[in-house]
Chain A
């Protein structure tokens, strides 16, 4: 039983009680993904599973057997930071930084959902094939990621700049 984490195949733990979050942090020593609430309420533990954003605290690692997980540690390449990481620095998209890895993974998943046309709570026309990343759409789609420092202005600016092709 294996799982791919940032491109590396690793064994799953024998104990099925291990959450995906604890596998990443405690077993694989990838502490980028954060444990905020451990109950699905804050988004700090957001990672990508085959490109889709999920909460690693509510996932048992065994449920993701055979899947490809990307954490914040897996975003940068030899060429440098992921553009969204660079934009977070540029726009002061954080203060303490605790929510940041979750915000960044979440926004990357969000951009894919938008390209696919997934509607949100604030989408007016459900039949529209293309949905633009307006300010309201961005805020609603990122509402699963809390920031206690209130770095939202920078977070919103960094995301809007990085995914400018989706912004009207």
Chain B
């Protein structure tokens, strides 16, 4: 690990001021950043510990929820209002990592965790455009079972590894950020980006921007929601495919739906096309499968992950059928 300075930020304005120093990075629980520093993939010269920032979870004036970015993953998953109003979010969080890691990890760090592509981690042993722009991508002709089927580019086929973020994409969350230049709020869909020609850039945040809070809108449909994760072993493994979904059925017709996929792209994948095909239809497997097919029609699998298309298709249909069954 390269040497670095460490300081705790007293509050948000202290954090963003400290982060102006060249080579500095925010530090949450450290479960991703410390690991990457040990592998010399990341080499910050200063760490600004932001775990002392607000970690409260509370109702907003409009009936939604505001979650402080320093809230631990466990605290979000166990919160009574999240369990009852946004169950898919609780379920997504407890599907990820282990209890120990969830006790350490913060919301801000979970959002900005980096890909688990093994070549990205293998500094000195493999070529990776995300780690070393222009070097090439060893995953494209290598072991790509875990890689993207949607939205990838010739420069990078990595996926975003977070489970929590798949639920947040489905929930139309917003992300509050702040820097020395001021505060702003961006829709969750605009936080992460597709790799394009700049795979080294994961998000649309400006340098030095600190995530201060997550905002969940009031969303009655989210009460009927869930998260399903398919992986190589039944616990403590990253997703091959995951599905976050919410469904509202009235008199045998789907009035509204939310659907997002994990394990398929460089960002959590909101399935807008499938949603549009499902609204107004009866809650039947054929409807769900047709919608999944439409969403996945643009898929470009790699030799090692062709199976993900069928797996995603079946998982989408299974999760939506389960939600429909609960409302029958």
Tell me which residues across on chain A come within 8 A of B78, comparing CB atoms. 116-119
Write the A80-118 contact mask toward B (1 if CB under 8 angstroms, else 0).
Answer: 000000000000000000000000001001100100111
Contact A113 B31 (CB under 8 A): no
Contact A144 B236 (CB under 8 A): yes
Please tell me if B98 contacts chain A, counting CB pairs below 8 Å: yes
Q: Contacts A46-B100, A54-B103, A63-B49: A16 and B6 contacting too (C-beta < 8 A)?
A: yes
Please tell me if B213 contacts chain A, counting CB pairs below 8 Å: no
Contact A38 B90 (CB under 8 A): no
Please tell me if A5 contacts chain B, counting CB pairs below 8 Å: no
Contact for B87 among A54, A126, A140, CB less than 8 A: A126
| B 233-252 contacts with A by CB, 8 A | 235-236
Write the A22-49 contact mask toward B (1 if CB under 8 angstroms, else 0).
Answer: 0000000000000000111001001000
Tell me which residues across on chain A come within 8 A of B30, comparing CB atoms. 58-60, 63
Leading 5 A-B pairs by shortest Cβ distance: A144-B98, A143-B235, A16-B6, A126-B83, A118-B78
Tell me which residues across on chain A come within 8 A of B276, comparing CB atoms. none
Size of the B side of the interface (Cβ < 8 Å), in residues, is: 35
Residues of A bordering B, CB below 8 Å: 15-17, 19, 38-40, 43, 46, 52-55, 58-60, 62-63, 65, 106, 109-110, 113, 116-121, 123, 126-127, 139-141, 143-145
A-B contact pairs, 6 of them (CB 8 A): A39-B38, A40-B101, A53-B100, A58-B101, A63-B27, A144-B98
Tell me which residues across on chain A come within 8 A of B3, comparing CB atoms. 15, 17
**Residue of A whose beta carbon sits closest to that of B4:** A16
Shortest A129–chain B CB gap in Å is 9
**How far is A73 from B78 in the complex, measured between Cα atoms in Å?**
30
Contact for A127 among B29, B84, B100, B235, CB less than 8 A: B84
Tell me which residues across on chain A come within 8 A of B35, comparing CB atoms. 39-40, 58
Contact B74 A118 (CB under 8 A): yes
| B 66-96 contacts with A by CB, 8 A | 74, 77-78, 83-84, 87, 90-91, 94-95
Contact B95 A118 (CB under 8 A): no
Tell me which residues across on chain B come within 8 A of A53, comparing CB atoms. 99-100, 103
